[in-house]
């Protein structure tokens, strides 16, 4: 009785061992590899995988560059919204990795892959791209700050509230870009203008700030309207020494715009005239801003 039970147990143990060996001898990967059936005693070595990964970012801001093209000896790829790319191959290849993107200067690297028998060989190639027009060696000095104030009375017809407190939007022409600082600026120079556009994204540098329409939200108290908007333009004065030039380029560059609506109350008993601002002053006020 004991002998027969022991013999049966031994047979089951051998069967389990055999099945277990068959499964563990298969190479099963979740990365698109096919399970290859093997016979007991056979050892299967996974084929080698060569991988290139990395991130592409803006040289000045560090932000991700989406849609950058990465050309490598094992293929090409585009970066995603995070600036990431990934390439894999079953064969090694050495050569040049070139990374490019619209409105940026391309860069290239030399990559040498070492042949492996199995496993994964991973290579990381990151790149920080400089925008077109960027020049190395520019010295920037902040010389001061300034502000300008303008009072706007036209185009405010929509900023009227004859009910409960609410928020409305208004589109105003405000100052943007940069301008030459009179008395200090040298002659116009295309290299300098390209540099300003590359560094700050400013396409306009002229005699004065360029007007640009922007939308602001204004909070109106119950039964009130806006009779005027005080617009303040804040700017920084900067000097730029380009490499090889003895004279500085100086500009005023807009930092932000702040609006200060001037409110008046609506007197329903006597009527109101938006154009002439009839009605008593409202003690409340509102401030909006746009970077």
pLDDT band at 144 (very low <50, low <70, confident <90, very high): very high
Does the global pTM surpass 0.75? no
Residue tagged 């050892």 (tokens):
43
pLDDT reported for residue 188 = 60
Tell which wins on pLDDT, 72 or 196. 72
Average predicted confidence (pLDDT) for the chain: 80
210: which 2 tokens?
Answer: 């360029």
DSSP three-state, residue 47 = coil
Distance CA 180, CA 189 (A): 11
Q: In the chain, pLDDT over 70 holds for what percent of residues? A: 76
CB atoms within 10 A of CB 126: 13
| Domains and their CATH numbers in the chain | 49-129 (2.60.40.1120), 139-290 (no CATH)
Q: Indicate the helix (H) or strand (E) that contains 174.
A: strand 166-176
pLDDT beyond 60 at 101: yes
pLDDT beyond 90 at 74: yes
């Amino acid at each position: 009785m004991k002998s027969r039970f022991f013999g049966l147990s031994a047979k089951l143990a051998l069967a389990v061992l055999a099945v277990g060996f068959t499964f563990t001898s298969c190479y099963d990967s979740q990365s698109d590899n096919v399970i290859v059936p093997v016979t007991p005693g056979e050892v299967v070595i996974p084929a080698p995988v060569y991988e290139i990964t990395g991130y592409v970012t803006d040289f000045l801001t560090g932000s991700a560059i989406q849609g950058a093209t990465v050309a490598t000896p094992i293929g090409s790829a585009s970066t995603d919204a995070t600036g990431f790319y990934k390439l894999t191959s079953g064969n090694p290849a050495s050569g040049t990795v070139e990374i490019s993107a619209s409105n940026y200067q391309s860069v290239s690297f030399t990559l040498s892959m070492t042949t492996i028998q199995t496993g994964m060989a991973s290579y990381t190639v990151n790149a920080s791209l400089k925008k077109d027009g960027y020049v190395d060696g520019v010295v920037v000095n902040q010389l001061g700050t300034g502000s300008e104030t303008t009072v706007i009375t036209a185009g405010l017809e929509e900023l009227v509230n004859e009910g409960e407190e609410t928020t409305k939007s208004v589109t105003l022409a405000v100052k943007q870009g940069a301008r030459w600082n009179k008395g200090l600026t040298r002659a116009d120079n295309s290299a300098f203008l390209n540099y300003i556009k590359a560094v700050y994204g400013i396409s306009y540098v002229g005699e004065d700030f360029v007007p640009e329409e922007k939308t602001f939200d204004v909070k109106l108290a119950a039964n009130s309207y806006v009779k005027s908007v005080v617009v303040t333009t804040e700017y920084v004065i900067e000097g730029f020494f380009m490499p090889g030039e003895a004279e500085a380029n100086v500009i005023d560059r807009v930092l932000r715009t702040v609006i200060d609506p001037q409110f008046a109350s609506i007197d329903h008993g006597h009527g109101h005239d938006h154009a002439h601002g009839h009605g008593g002053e409202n003690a409340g006020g509102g401030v909006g801003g746009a970077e």
